[in-house]
Amino acid sequence: MPRSSGTSTHSPPSSRSSVLVRRRPPRGLYSHQCRSYILGIRWKITGNQADDFQLVVWMFMVGRFTLGFFSTLACRSSSIYLIEISPAERRGTIAGLYNTLFFLGSILATLAVLVSQALYHGHTAWRVPVALQCVFPAIVASGVRYIPESPRWLVANSRPSEARDVMASLHSNGVLTHKVSEEFAQMEADVRQRDGMPTGWSVLYSTKSRKRRLFILLCMSLFGQMSGNNIISYYLPTMLHDVGIKEMSTKLYLNGLYAIIGWTAAAVGARLHDYYGRRKMLYNCTSGLATCMGLLALSMGMYYRTGEFLYSTFSLLTIYTFGVIFATGYTSMQPVYPAEVMTNDMRARGMAVATMCGGSAGCLNTLLAPAAMARLGPMFFFLFCVWDFVEAAIINAYFVETKGRTLEELEEVFNSDDPVGLSIEKSSKERMF
């Protein structure tokens, strides 16, 4: 709960900080991306240390809040950065794979807990895994200074030659191809077009097309948290207990297996989004989530009535199937699709809104889910079944296809009378693998 609160409360100041550093040229050693990463990572380490060396409960709570608050800065900056530097035909794969790596963290954390419990006793058994969380942020902080700057930020800050060189380096192995020149021209035109436009929060809803972008962003942020996935992942041990699996060691191993399967599915899904397209993947996977929730409600209800091992096994398989479908359709796209539908001047504030919505939804899940699961039983999962079908209908009606388009080319899509139809028309003609 403290970490979810930290994530949601960080969103408004993070957008302001991001916009400020993106408006001025970098000074000294670090550019705006490096500053964002290092600031967030340093305080993530501080939050972990506060958790590890806490003496009273309030210190632990402060540490968790600090961890959630500042991890948002580093994570959001990195996802936006990857989206801005990736070529359009590989953007889903490159930027999407980034968000799948939290499964690796989950796997390593599970292994750390298992080993620590076997080797240590008392408070040391949990302090060691918490302390190990500082290792990877420290590695990132030491290497982030060597990454190139976002070409879109360079263009916006009157450094076109550097932007062109970065694009050529990242998109065509240092060769200034026609495709690179065309995309660079789109960036310059976008900057000129937005010169003199409002720069406050009104950029999110100043026109009809921007309101549509904001609506899609809000939907994607909520769907990524309210489709039942948080219930499955956060309360997997409780659900395993409800279907007859009571040994703690077995729960830990099954939790680790869930992460391994999820990571594989998410990595495959990141590539499939660049092949089949975002709309088709999100719609089909959301429909699959609804089906899984309905089957889970049915099988758990039968297990409660009969206590038969068959229904327990079927419930377990349904839980894992749900995880695979969600990882394939949503995990890689949660930070990617909302950022794609934002214009360059909307992206920082839009992603802050997305983070705030997602964090608030996470808080609600944490507060309400345990009581709802205890009171409603299997019917709790049936409610998610109905809601997921509603999500699928909204995706089909309003979500545009972004596959294969540069971030600037999406302006034409959103300004049209039928954004969904226009986006599908081009997407059906372009299939890359």
- 403-423 confidence digits (pLDDT tens): 989 888 898 899 998 999 998
User: How many C-beta neighbours within 10 Å does residue 107 have?
Assistant: 18
Q: Find, among 260, 414, 381, the residue nearest to 327 by Cα.
A: 260
Kindly state the average pLDDT of the residues 168-182: 88
Amino acid of residue 237: P
Candidate from 228-232, 264-268, 290-294, 315-319 with smallest mean pLDDT: 228-232
Residue with tokens 């499955």: 232
Residue 12 has pLDDT above 90, yes or no: no
Which tens digit of pLDDT belongs to each residue from 357-384? 988 888 888 788 888 888 888 888 999 9
pLDDT of residue 27: 38
Do residues 71 and 140 lie in contact, with contact meaning Cβ atoms separated by under 8 Å? no
pLDDT of residue 426: 64
**Domain 2-147+207-427 CATH class label:** mainly alpha
Distance CA 1, CA 176 (A): 49
432 versus 68: the higher-pLDDT residue is: 68
pLDDT of residue 198: 65
pLDDT of residue 305: 87
Residue 226 has pLDDT above 70, yes or no: yes
What are the C-alpha distances in Å from 3 to residues 53, 136, 149, 230, 233?
Answer: 17, 19, 30, 14, 16
Which tens digit of pLDDT belongs to each residue from 55-96? 556 666 766 677 766 677 777 778 888 898 999 889 999 999
User: How many C-beta neighbours within 10 Å does residue 159 have?
Assistant: 17
- The ranges assigned to domains in the chain are 2-147+207-427
430 versus 277: the higher-pLDDT residue is: 277
Mean pLDDT of all residues belonging to the chain = 80
Which tens digit of pLDDT belongs to each residue from 256-307? 788 888 899 999 999 999 999 999 999 999 999 999 999 999 998 898 888 8
Structure tokens at 247: 């040994």
* pTM tops 0.85: no
pLDDT of residue 25: 36
Kindly state the average pLDDT of the residues 148-160: 88
Report percent pLDDT > 90 for the chain.
27
Tell me how long the chain is: 433
399 versus 430: the higher-pLDDT residue is: 399
Residue 177 has pLDDT above 50, yes or no: yes
Residue 433 has pLDDT above 90, yes or no: no
Q: Which residues contact 214 (CB under 8 A, 6 or more apart)?
A: 204, 205, 346, 350, 353
